């Protein structure tokens, strides 16, 4: 194999590559499906498919054990955000019953370079992340619902 | 973003999405339509090269550009350099990667060979998009005989 | 020391993969000595109970069991002297299963593993391990 030296910051390139590829994919799905809700659903589904594989990669790389409780789960998802998206979300808004919480992302690499036109205002652009979380947790025997509360593209943040 | 496997998982899902669309759209035809995948790659390539080269001096000529694609660009995106670049000096270039990123986990040989075109189409688009942004219009096709090796054929279109 | 065989099950208990290296003549031998087929079963008891890992020793072989948090089960049978098998199973999960099954989009995660690349990597992984190598001693 040849050397893999490059003048570029490969981490940054990798990050931009994901952002741009994801953007191109979303644009294609919008073209294929007319209904914005269907596009959001499709993105969630793609995320789910990624999540069921990504979880194994995560478990292997971190050597992590079973989650003790939902707080522990939240911590581990936080780690995963850092590992795969390079951002550290805050865990917030725990429900009284302790069965619901939010991740708040100050910055989201997926939406860097993205601006949504007026007619796509209903689109949940980052719904793929909800899908990844649902898929990943299902594999560790946790059935969850994951949704976007607020969106930076429409101002605010998530889950 | 820290972890490169995210891009691999995303790419796999784009391939799956295209496959599902094919099954719905053209049930009757046996030939797989890879144009959507190619186009998603084109959009990605067109935009990533813009970001990578914006602070670089202009390339001397076509061959200089190709060399850049084979070395810095390939390393940044595919984690290794192209192993072999050949040209007839009349606008045909053949880039050979002996361990192509999207094939290394599939097979070392001919198992799953029938699926290989799906895993190189996005990259054909990436090359075409990158070169288009650098004012080189071309056709890009890929040839896989023995995984994980892949040859990309670039034919420059001169008007 | 030696490795006899390996089983991989998914979380539903479906057998995803089986491979053997040295055939275990256990049951045949026991029966030949006068039908004491069950004699070794009574000796079974877990000897190592770290999280997700169990190890059962019989007079003839040791069964090592690793379950990942995602419910995948790896079972490997070795002779009774083998050491460090938990680490071996963990590495097989990390470096062979995740790399060549999870990252191979053509492998369906709930179906038996068909990938030859996985098979050959697992084989060389096992054969390179000290547990397998020391067989010659």
From CA C45, how far away is CA C60, in angstroms rounded? Answer: 14
Q: Which residues of A touch C97 (CB under 8 A)?
A: 56
Chain A partners within 8 Å of C107 (Cβ): none
Contact residues for B96 (Cβ-Cβ < 8 A; gap 6+): B82, B83, B84, B85, B86, B149, B150, B151, B152
**pLDDT of amino acid B87:** 96
Closest chain A residue to the Cα of C11, Cα to Cα: A139
The CA distance from C28 to C37, in Å, is: 9
Flag if A50 and B13 touch (Cβ within 8 Å).
Answer: yes
Helix (H, G, I), strand (E, B) or coil at B151: strand
Residue of C51, C52, C70 lying closest to A56 (CB–CB): C70
Distance in angstroms (rounded) separating the CA atoms of residues C81 and C58: 11
Question: What span, in angstroms and rounded, lies between the C-alpha atoms of A127 and C17?
Answer: 35
Residues with Cβ within 8 Å of residue C41, at least 6 apart in sequence: C58
Q: Could you tell me which of A103, A100, A112 has the C-alpha nearest to residue A80?
A: A103
Looking at beta carbons, which residues of chain C come within 8 Å of B106?
104-106, 115, 117
DSSP structure class, residue B145: S
Which domains does chain C possess? Answer: 3-128 (3.30.450.70)
pLDDT confidence band for C119 (50 / 70 / 90) = very high
Judged against a pLDDT cut of 50, whether residue C135 lies above it is answered with no
Q: Give per-residue pLDDT as tens, C67-83.
A: 999 999 999 998 888 88
Q: What angle in degrees, to the nearest 10, is found between the helix axes of A127-139 and A36-62?
A: 50
Burial C117-133 (b: 16+ CB within 10 A, else e): bbbebbeeebeebebbe
Whether residue B116 lies within 8 A of chain C, CB to CB, comes out as no
Q: Which residues, in sequence order, are CB contacts of C12 under 8 Å at separation 6+?
A: C110
**What region, left, alpha or beta, does residue B79 occupy, with left being phi > 0 and alpha being psi -120 to 50 degrees?**
left
Could you tell me which of C113, C132, C112, C137 has the C-alpha nearest to residue C22? C132
Q: Of C103, C116, C120, which is closest to B105 when you measure between CB atoms? A: C103
Query: First-to-last CA distance in chain B?
Result: 41
Contact B107/C116, CB-based, under 8 Å? yes
Q: Which residues of B touch A85 (CB under 8 A)?
A: 1, 6
The answer on pLDDT for B25 being more than 70 is yes
Q: Please report the pLDDT score of residue C47 as a whole number.
A: 58
pLDDT level of residue C133 (50, 70, 90 thresholds) = low
Report the residue of A9, A18, A19, A21 to disrupt the B interface, i.e. the one with the largest count of B CBs within 10 Å.
A21
A18·B5 Cβ contact <8 A:
no
Residue C39, pLDDT score: 41
- pTM score, whole prediction: 0.90
| Any B CB within 8 A of C121 CB | no
Asked if the Cβ–Cβ distance from A55 to C70 is below 8 Å, we say yes
Is the pLDDT score of B27 beyond 80? no
Touching subunits of A (3+ CB pairs, under 8 Å) are: B, C
Question: Contact A57/B13 with Cβ under 8 angstroms?
Answer: no
Residue of A nearest to C53 (CA): A65
Backbone phi and psi for residue A51, each to the nearest 5 degrees, phi listed first: -60, -40
Asked whether the beta carbons of A77 and A131 are under 8 A apart, the reply is no
Cβ–Cβ gap C103/A141 under 8 Å: no
Q: Locate tokens 């370079």: which residue?
A: A113
Q: Are C6 and C72 in contact (CB under 8 A)?
A: no
Quote the tokens at residue B91: 């606008």
Residue C134 has pLDDT above 60, yes or no: no
What chain B holds in terms of domains, given with CATH numbers, is 4-156 (3.30.1380.20)
Q: Which of C54, B18, C109 is nearest to A57 (CA)?
A: C109
Contacts of C53 in chain A (CB under 8 A): none
Q: What is the pLDDT of residue C32?
A: 37
Using an 8 Å CB-CB cutoff, list chain B residues near A46: 13, 16-17
| Cβ–Cβ < 8 Å for A134, A112 | no
Is the Cβ pair A140, C69 closer than 8 Å? yes
pLDDT for position C18: 95
Could B106 and C99 be called an inter-chain contact, meaning their C-beta atoms sit closer than 8 Å? no
**Structural domains of chain A ordered from first start:** 10-154 (3.30.1380.20)
- Would you state the pLDDT for residue A118? 82
Nearest residue of C to residue B5, measured between CA atoms: C103
Distance CA A50, CA B11 (A): 10
Tokens, residue A22: 């994801």
DSSP C15: E
Q: Chunked in runs of 10, what are the mean pLDDT values of chain A (159 residues)?
A: 65 91 95 92 97 96 88 92 91 88 89 82 91 94 84 49
Residue A66 CA to residue A55 CA, distance in Å, equals 12
Q: How far apart are CA C76 and CA C62, in angstroms?
A: 8
For residue C33, the model assigns a pLDDT of: 38
Residue B91: predicted pLDDT = 94
pLDDT tens-digit series, residues C15-45: 999 998 877 665 443 333 333 434 444 445 5
Please say whether the beta carbons of B80 and B71 come within 8 A: no
Best B6, B102, B112 member to test C by mutation, with max C CBs in 10 Å, is: B112
Res C10 pLDDT > 80 = yes
In angstroms, rounded to a whole number, what is the distance separating the alpha carbons of residues B117 and B120?
A: 5
Query: What pLDDT, on the 0 to 100 scale, is given for residue B105?
Result: 96
Average pLDDT over residues B27-33: 73
C7 φ, ψ (degrees, to nearest 5) = -125, 140
From C103, C116, C120, residue closest to B8, measured CB to CB: C103
């Amino acid at each position: 194999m040849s050397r893999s030296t490059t003048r570029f910051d490969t981490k940054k390139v990798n990050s931009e590559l994901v952002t741009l590829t994801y953007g191109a994919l979303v644009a294609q799905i919008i073209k294929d499906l007319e209904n914005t809700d269907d596009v959001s659903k499709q993105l969630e589904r793609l995320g789910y498919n990624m999540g069921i594989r990504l979880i194994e990669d995560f478990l292997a790389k971190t050597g992590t054990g079973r989650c003790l409780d939902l707080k522990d789960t939240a911590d581990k998802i936080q780690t995963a955000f850092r590992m795969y998206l390079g951002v550290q979300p805050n865990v917030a808004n725990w429900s009284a019953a302790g069965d619901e919480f939010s991740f708040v992302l100050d910055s989201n690499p997926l939406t860097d370079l993205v601006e949504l036109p007026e007619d796509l205002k209903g689109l949940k652009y980052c719904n793929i992340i909800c899908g990844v979380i649902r898929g990943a947790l299902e594999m560790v025997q946790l059935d969850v619902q994951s949704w976007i509360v607020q969106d930076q593209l429409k101002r605010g943040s998530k889950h | 973003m820290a972890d490169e496997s995210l891009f691999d998982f995303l790419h796999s899902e784009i391939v799956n999405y295209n496959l599902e669309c094919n099954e719905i759209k053209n049930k009757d035809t046996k030939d797989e339509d890879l144009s959507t995948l190619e186009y998603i790659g084109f959009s990605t390539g067109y935009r990533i090269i813009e970001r990578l080269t914006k602070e670089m001096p202009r390339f001397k000529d076509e061959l200089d550009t190709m060399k850049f694609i084979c070395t810095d660009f390939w390393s940044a995106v595919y984690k290794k350099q192209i192993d072999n670049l050949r040209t007839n000096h009349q606008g045909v270039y053949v880039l050979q990667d002996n361990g192509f990123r999207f094939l290394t986990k599939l097979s070392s040989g001919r198992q799953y060979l029938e699926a290989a075109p799906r895993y190189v189409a996005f990259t054909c688009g990436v090359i075409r998009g990158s070169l288009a942004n650098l004012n080189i219009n071309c056709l890009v096709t890929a040839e896989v005989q023995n995984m994980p090796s892949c040859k990309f054929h670039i034919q420059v279109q001169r008007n | 020391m030696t490795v006899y065989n390996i089983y991989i099950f998914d979380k539903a208990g479906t057998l995803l993969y089986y491979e053997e290296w040295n055939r275990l003549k256990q049951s045949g031998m026991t029966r030949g000595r006068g039908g004491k087929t069950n004699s070794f079963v009574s000796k079974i008891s877990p000897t190592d109970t770290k999280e997700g890992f169990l190890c059962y020793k019989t007079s003839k072989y040791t069964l090592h069991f690793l379950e990942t948090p995602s419910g995948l089960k790896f079972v490997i049978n070795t002779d009774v002297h083998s050491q460090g098998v938990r680490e071996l199973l963990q590495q097989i999960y990390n470096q062979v299963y995740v790399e060549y099954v999870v990252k191979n989009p053509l492998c369906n995660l709930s179906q038996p593993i068909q990938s030859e690349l996985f098979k050959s990597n697992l084989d060389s992984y096992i054969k390179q391990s000290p547990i397998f190598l020391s067989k010659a001693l």
